[in-house]
């Protein structure tokens, strides 16, 4: 048997359609190829990219048996607040008064539409300039106060440093360069 896909208007084999129990024929309305293309288009929009990031946070919370303390709407509002302060630049830097020193962020979704490891598009490379959602203090829960929007490459670099490590580094820096005490 064959079925017509309303997305591409082609008549295709039933194997080209994914299963869906709630439909009359037990198959998706659109073929798998059109569904993947639609998902990729949506994920390359700002709202689609951010919703994907939110789903990743929710999945991570569930996996780690943690609670996520904000809704998708609150998450989107937090990003709008970030944009009003930083524009499309990372929050990682000297502050909003020196935006020229903050790196620009992108929202590019690559891949062939299949989900691979950690929710990334299969066959894609992580893009260093892409937006990444990070916790200021990774020992604390996901809350709006603990979130920051930075670049993926900055998040990777920060990931290996704990809050306690940062405090030690700041103390040593102040001792040696501000108070000018040699070790």
Exposure string over 7-19, b if 16+ CB within 10 A, otherwise e:
eeeeebeeebbee
Could you give the CA distance from residue 172 to residue 179 in angstroms, rounded to a whole number? 10
Q: Residue count of the chain, please give it.
A: 183
Containing structural domain, residue 146:
31-178
For the chain, 183 residues long, give each residue's pLDDT as a single digit of tens.
899 999 999 999 999 999 999 999 999 999 999 998 888 888 789 999 999 999 999 999 999 998 889 999 999 999 999 999 999 999 988 888 889 999 999 998 776 545 555 555 555 578 999 999 998 888 888 999 999 999 999 888 887 777 787 888 788 878 877 776 554
What is the per-residue pLDDT across 19-52, written as a single tens digit (0 to 9) for each?
Answer: 999 999 999 999 999 998 888 888 789 999 999 9
- What confidence score (pLDDT) does residue 123 get? 53
**Is 150 part of a structural domain of the chain?**
yes
- What confidence score (pLDDT) does residue 113 get? 46
**Is 125 part of a structural domain of the chain?**
yes
Element (H, E) at 47: helix 46-63
**Is 21 part of a structural domain of the chain?**
no
**Is 7 part of a structural domain of the chain?**
no
Number of domains within the chain: 1
**Is 106 part of a structural domain of the chain?**
yes
Residue 149 near residue 138, CB atoms below 8 Å? no
3-state secondary structure of 113: coil
**Is 97 part of a structural domain of the chain?**
yes
**Is 143 part of a structural domain of the chain?**
yes
**Is 5 part of a structural domain of the chain?**
no
Q: In which residue are the tokens 């288009």 written?
A: 41
């Amino acid at each position: 048997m064959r079925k017509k896909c309303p997305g591409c208007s082609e008549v295709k084999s039933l194997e080209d359609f994914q299963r869906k129990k709630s439909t009359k024929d037990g198959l998706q309305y659109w073929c798998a190829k059109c569904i993947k293309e639609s998902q990729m288009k949506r994920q390359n929009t700002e709202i689609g990219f951010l919703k994907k990031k939110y789903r990743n946070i929710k999945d991570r919370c569930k996996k780690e048996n943690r609670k996520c303390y904000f809704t998708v709407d609150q998450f989107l509002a937090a990003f709008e607040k970030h944009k009003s302060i930083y524009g499309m630049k990372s929050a990682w830097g000297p502050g909003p008064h020196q935006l020229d020193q903050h790196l620009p962020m992108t929202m590019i979704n690559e891949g062939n539409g299949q989900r691979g490891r950690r929710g990334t598009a299969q066959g894609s490379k992580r893009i260093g300039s892409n937006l990444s959602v990070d916790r200021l203090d990774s020992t604390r829960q996901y809350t709006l106060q603990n979130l920051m929007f930075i670049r993926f490459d900055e998040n990777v670099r920060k990931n290996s440093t704990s809050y306690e490590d940062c405090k030690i580094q700041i103390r040593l820096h102040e001792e040696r360069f501000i108070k000018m005490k040699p070790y």
